[in-house]
Chain A
Amino acid sequence: MRTSATITRPPTPVAIRMRRLVSLALVHAVLIGGAVFMLLPFVFMLTSAIKPPGEIFEATFRLWPRQFYGWQNFESALSTAPLLRFLLNGLIVCGGILVVQLLVAIPCAYALAKLKFPGRPILFSLVLLGLCIPVQAPSLPLYIAFAELGILNTYLSMMMPFFLSVFAIFLFRQFFKSYPDEIIQAARLDGVGEFEIVWRIVVPSAWPAIAAFSIFSVVAHWNDLYWPLIVVSDTKLATPPLGMMYFADSELGSNYGALAAGATIITAPLVIAFLIARRHFIAGITMTGIK
């Protein structure tokens, strides 16, 4: 097998160490290069948010401004656009969507995983079909229906299309399927009704899946632009991305410092949440694995 070509003199310890150092340096060079690209807009956003207008586009980039202008930028951002209102809207919409999604999907997923009832195979096929349909596809008829009902420009219209998450049903069903049947049967023998089995027995054990899905759902709907853009024209109801768009379009769009400050405020909640609960975010993405 081994030819003479592969039998070379064993390398000296110094050579081995050198080779290892070079490859380590190379790996870090690549990773740091990528990291600079990844962080570029964040660094630019944060530094611009504390720079006076004249310094933002200076030829030499500085991390810290000569003149600290942070207060003025954040103040003018907050006074021109109701940024905190956007955040509150985002919270209401994401929270409302998530709560209904969980309330609807968990019992359905339990029924699909553990109960025998007529129509179960059909329902599961429909869930799989639903997984194949991108959220943007039903938006046109939904818009027409909402317009006819006169509920455009309401929180309900912003949340309603997402109340049913086929993905949540799918994910929880997989999770519940691996839940031991014996415990459910023991609960039945102990006199626990099916409704209480779901919420008292099974759900407490499913929190990793629920946490994973919650992260997935909040990230998706906090950052969604398409649907709010369609149903909302009232600035007061704008979610963070939509608000950011209005903000950038307004006459303040040329006040780059304030715009960067606004972008910081819009981006901060999720990014901070991610930095705090990093493990859960990554575990959640690994488990859900879909956008």
Chain B
Amino acid sequence: MNTVAAQVTPLDAVPPAGGQRWVERFAGLGFAAPAFILLVLTNLAPLAALAFLSFTNYELGALDFSFVGFKNFGAALQDPVIRRSVTNTLLYVAIVVPGGVLLSLLVAILIHQRKRTRSLYEVIYFLPVTSTLIAMATMWQFLLHPTLGLINQALKGLGFAETAFLSEPRLVIPTLAAIGIWQLVGFNMVLFLAGLSAIPRDLYEAVDIDGASHPIDRFLKVTWPMLGPTTMFVTVTTFITAFKIFDTVTVMTRGGPGGASEVLLYAIYLEGFQYFHMSYAATLTLVFLAFTLVFSVLQTFILDRRVHY
């Protein structure tokens, strides 16, 4: 409404009166200027440069470069590493999104009904969110050690065979996904808890009186529909976070074994900042952007709407 009014006001119409209007314009421009300049410098210009680079063969330190059209895109499509990275990333996302959302929903519902123990559980489940993932990933590496690790010793004690979680190509992505879920659950849980507290108590009372007193009925009739917007938002953020998997791969597997845990962001990191194939990395970044864009736009849309609830 206000924005429309601001658009309607013609800029060159000097009002006969009103110092205030000019003060607002002057102050508004002054306040917005630093942010705008930084936005251009750190966001918009780099993005334009990225698009530009992806059509060249520029490499860091090269004195000259030329335009190569869509060659980089073609190369990316053919590149087995990139194909593998995309598949692995999508597999990772496909495990982390449902796992991270549903487990955190379950935990949130169970914790929400606790009274005395609620804050204790809250702290425990939230702890991984604040901890430095790199340090914790190192600890997971120990725990998952094929022979000495605690987890394998426990499995052995239960009569299972030793499992090389991180060096077995079929298991490495699911293992990383489990750690990803471990880190995410607390964060999503907090969002679900907020959503649960926002459900009016009298809805549960009404559904009780109407005869749906079984917990599953209560969940299906009240909790799940009322949590709809929260679930949507949590799913979208989880997707974006999952798609950006980088830390655990870098520390724990470095894409191994045999490329079984190569993921998109790690591939971009290698191409761009280890091999300095800038133009190719720029192309890959655009691919990465394309994958996340739908979800980022969705997230922004929900964020923008959420305030008006």
Contact B132 A267 (CB under 8 A): yes
Given the complex of chains A and B, what is the CA–CA distance between A256 and B129 in angstroms?
24
Given the complex of chains A and B, what is the CA–CA distance between A174 and B125 in angstroms?
29
Contact B44 A126 (CB under 8 A): yes
Contact B304 A128 (CB under 8 A): yes
Q: Which of B9, B119, B127 contacts A39 (CB 8 A)?
A: B127
Contact A160 B42 (CB under 8 A): yes
Interface readout for A251-291 with B: 1 if CB under 8 Å, 0 if not? 00000100110110011001101110010011001100111
Kindly state whether residue A64 has any CB partner on chain B within 8 Å.
no
Given the complex of chains A and B, what is the CA–CA distance between A214 and B118 in angstroms?
25
Chain B contacts of A42 at CB under 8 A? 127, 131, 136, 139
Secondary structure of the B side of the interface? helix
Kindly state whether residue B155 has any CB partner on chain A within 8 Å.
no
Q: State the interface size on chain B (CB cutoff 8 A).
A: 108
Secondary structure of the A side of the interface? helix
Contact B36 A116 (CB under 8 A): no
Kindly state whether residue B7 has any CB partner on chain A within 8 Å.
yes
Kindly state whether residue B219 has any CB partner on chain A within 8 Å.
no
Residue of chain A at shortest CB distance from B46: A138
Q: Which of B30, B106, B303 contacts A289 (CB 8 A)?
A: B303
Chain B contacts of A143 at CB under 8 A? 272-273
Kindly state whether residue B32 has any CB partner on chain A within 8 Å.
yes
Residue of chain B at shortest CB distance from A41: B139
Kindly state whether residue A14 has any CB partner on chain B within 8 Å.
no
Q: A35-B121, A38-B124, A134-B296 are in contact. Are A281 and B130 (CB under 8 A)?
A: yes
Kindly state whether residue B140 has any CB partner on chain A within 8 Å.
yes
B101 to chain A minimum Cβ distance, whole angstroms, is 14
Contact A170 B47 (CB under 8 A): no
Contact B28 A138 (CB under 8 A): no
Kindly state whether residue B278 has any CB partner on chain A within 8 Å.
yes
Given the complex of chains A and B, what is the CA–CA distance between A236 and B208 in angstroms?
63
Which residues of A from 192 to 207 have beta carbons under 8 Å from B? 194-195, 198
Chain A contacts of B268 at CB under 8 A? 136, 140
Contact B43 A263 (CB under 8 A): no
Kindly state whether residue B57 has any CB partner on chain A within 8 Å.
no
Contact A119 B29 (CB under 8 A): yes
Contact B35 A169 (CB under 8 A): yes
Residue of chain B at shortest CB distance from A103: B34
Given the complex of chains A and B, what is the CA–CA distance between A42 and B149 in angstroms?
15
Given the complex of chains A and B, what is the CA–CA distance between A263 and B303 in angstroms?
35
23 contacts between A and B (CB under 8 A): A2-B211, A34-B103, A35-B125, A38-B125, A38-B185, A44-B143, A104-B38, A107-B32, A108-B32, A126-B36, A134-B292, A137-B288, A140-B46, A164-B43, A194-B24, A195-B27, A226-B265, A241-B133, A267-B136, A271-B131, A286-B191, A289-B233, A290-B303
Extra A-B contacts (18), CB below 8 Å, given A61-B153, A137-B289: A31-B111, A31-B117, A34-B107, A112-B32, A115-B25, A116-B9, A121-B7, A130-B44, A133-B289, A138-B43, A143-B272, A188-B20, A194-B24, A241-B133, A241-B247, A263-B138, A286-B191, A286-B194
